[in-house]
Amino acid sequence: MNKSIILHVIGWILTIEALFMALPGIVAMIYQEKSGYSFLITMMVCLLIGVPLIIMKPKSHIFFAKEGFISVALGWIVLSIMGAMPFYLSGEIPSYVDALFEVISGFTTTGSSILSDVEALSYCMLFWRSFTHWIGGMGILVFILAIMPMAGGETMHIMRAESPGPSVEKIVPRMRSTASLLYIIYFAMTVIQIILLLAGGMPLFDSLTITFGTAGTGGFAIKNSSLADYTSYQQNVTTIFMFLFGVNFNIYYLILFKKAKVAFKSEELRAYFLIVITAIILIALNLGGIKNFFPSIHHAAFQVSSIITTTGYATVDFNHWPTFSKTILVWIMFIGACAGSTGGGLKVSRIVILFKTICKEMSYLVHKRSIKIIKFDGKKIEHETMRSINVFFVSYILIFAVSVLIVSLDNFDFTSSFTAVAATINNVGPGLEVVGPIGNFGGFSILSKFVMMFDMLCGRLEVFPMLLLFNPKNWKK
């Protein structure tokens, strides 16, 4: 394995992270908070390690799939280790493991918190916590691809390792332009949401942090009650934007630069829309019956949009909802958002393709000699894609099962253990019972926290980069 080029990529990650940390630094200056110094120190450390790594020319430029996966997985771990420093150094999160959990939850856009009192944090920490969602949403390596001069096809390996979805496609020929375009769309949508929230009378700091959490489909709020205390206009804006950030960004490119017709024909978009609408109607009926259907729609819509895009904001404590509604929420956690969005979960396109495979298999069982091509968006699904989806699904479930088993050692009730892992591996945030919208993850043991940190990274990077990183075979010479 070409370690020198991986170190080079890590160097870039550290340097960019240092630059990003300047923002909470500025927030600390505005609010004149002493904890701002912890950012300054961390920035120095990042730059001291990062800049020499960039300047040191890699010995060889060999960069294949293996280097792509490893540098992405390792990059995210390094990113998190440094990102947790300010929380720990300032003493606002006294345990480093907790700080690490919090920041991994941030970068992977999960939104699970170990804090029982969020409001006790200083402004700069709250800002950094939410801002990690924004960085992690589109991906720090995609950001680096947009600015770093990297030649050739190696960039594809990085993009493929970091971007969610069964098959990653560029939208324009150049990787650099693709990455820039994605960030431009991301940035523009972020700005629009901030403006809309400000127009609804939300304070600037709140609009910024809420928007970062929405854009990255993260879910860290700056109030203990999550979004319950905001006006229904502000909640509705968030509902719509959560939904929008869960759509494949290629769709926006198509709408903006080509033909909207093609975009709306996307099977994944239609399925996503259908699932969301169905879930909202079912939950609203379950909550309010036919009589109170319309009043309950507001909260149902918010919660469905929040959970399926794996954001994890809450306007009510859905822990007290009927079991039917709670079950729907747990299942849509697994479905997740669209491929190529900032959301987590299994992804709608994978679910649709898996569903089509079942139909194919049923027809095959009856007609042994039948040949059926599975199509998605009018295109044949290659056998390779099919296989990788199946394997992905199996390993996802396997990791999930083992994680639940380990977490159950803490002896919480089954629902808590089950949904705690479901909420972390799908990058949602809150689960049910102990880890419900008003609960937190602070009570778990260190072992469980590490398992869930691994799950969050697995969920965000789609399993394989993490598995490859921890496979000792890949480190042998």
Residues that bind another protein (CB under 8 A): 65, 151-153, 155-157, 170, 172-177, 379, 382
Q: CA of 125: how far to CAs of 207, 222, 435, in Å?
A: 16, 10, 22
- Burial zone of 388 (CB within 10 Å; 0-12 exposed, 13-18 middle, 19+ buried): middle
User: Is 95 or 180 the residue whose CB approaches another protein more closely?
Assistant: 180
Tokens for 235?
């909640």
**The two three-digit tokens of residue 149, written as one number:** 């001069």
CA dihedral 452, 17, 6, 139 (to 10 degrees): 60
Please, which residue, 152 or 472, has the CB nearer to another protein? 152
Residue 232: partners with Cβ closer than 8 Å, 6 or more residues away: 298
Only one residue has tokens 């730059």, namely 47
In whole angstroms, the minimum distance from the beta carbon of 139 to another protein comes to: 18
Choice between 78 and 185, CB closer to another protein: 185
- 175 or 284, CB closer to another protein? 175
CB of 381 to another protein, least distance (A): 10
Q: How many residues does the chain have?
A: 477
Neighbouring C-alpha atoms within 13 Å toward the C-beta of 404: 14
The residue among 405, 389, 312 whose CA lies nearest residue 346 is 389
Residues ≥6 apart with Cβ < 8 Å to 117: 224
> Min. distance of Cβ 151 from another protein in angstroms?
8
Closest to another protein by CB, 151 or 358? 151
Nearer to another protein, 94 or 173 (CB): 173
Spatial separation of the C-alpha atoms in residues 348 and 261, rounded to whole Å: 20
Helix H or strand E encompassing 375 = strand 375-376
Instruction: Please report how close the Cβ of residue 155 comes to another protein at its closest, in angstroms.
Output: 6
Measured from the CB of residue 377, what is the shortest distance to another protein in angstroms? Answer: 11
Q: How far apart are the first and last CA of the chain?
A: 7
User: Nearest distance from residue 19's CB to another protein, in Å?
Assistant: 25
Helices (H) and strands (E) in the chain, counts: 21, 2
Q: How far is the CB of 384 from another protein (least distance, A)?
A: 8
| Residue 235: CB minimum distance to another protein, A | 40
Under 8 Å between Cβ of 190 and 218: no
What is the rounded CA–CA span in Å between residue 97 and residue 341?
29
Nearest approach, Cβ of residue 402 and another protein (Å): 32
The residue (of 361 and 382) whose beta carbon lies closer to another protein is 382
**Phi, psi angles (nearest 5°) of residue 343:** -85, 170
Closer residue to another protein (CB): 158 or 185: 158
Q: What are phi and psi of 115, to 5 degrees?
A: -85, 135
Using the minimum distance from each CB to another protein, give the nearer residue, 153 or 203.
Answer: 153
In terms of Cβ atoms closer than 10 Å to its own Cβ (0-12, 13-18, 19+), residue 276 is buried
In contact, 139 and 343? CB cutoff 8 Å: no
Closer of 91 and 152 to another protein (Cβ) = 152
Output the smallest distance, CB 177 to another protein, in A. 8
Nearer residue to another protein within complex by CB, 49 or 156 = 156
Asked whether the beta carbons of 39 and 128 are under 8 A apart, the reply is yes
The rounded distance, in Å, linking the Cα atoms of 347 and 309 is 9
Residue 58 or 68: the one with the smaller Cβ distance to another protein is 68
Q: Which residues are bridge partners to 375 per DSSP?
A: 380
Contact 115, 440 (CB under 8 A): yes
**Least CB distance to another protein at residue 173 (A):** 4
User: CB 393 → another protein: shortest distance, Å?
Assistant: 22
What gap in Å lies between CA 188 and CA 79, rounded to an integer?
25
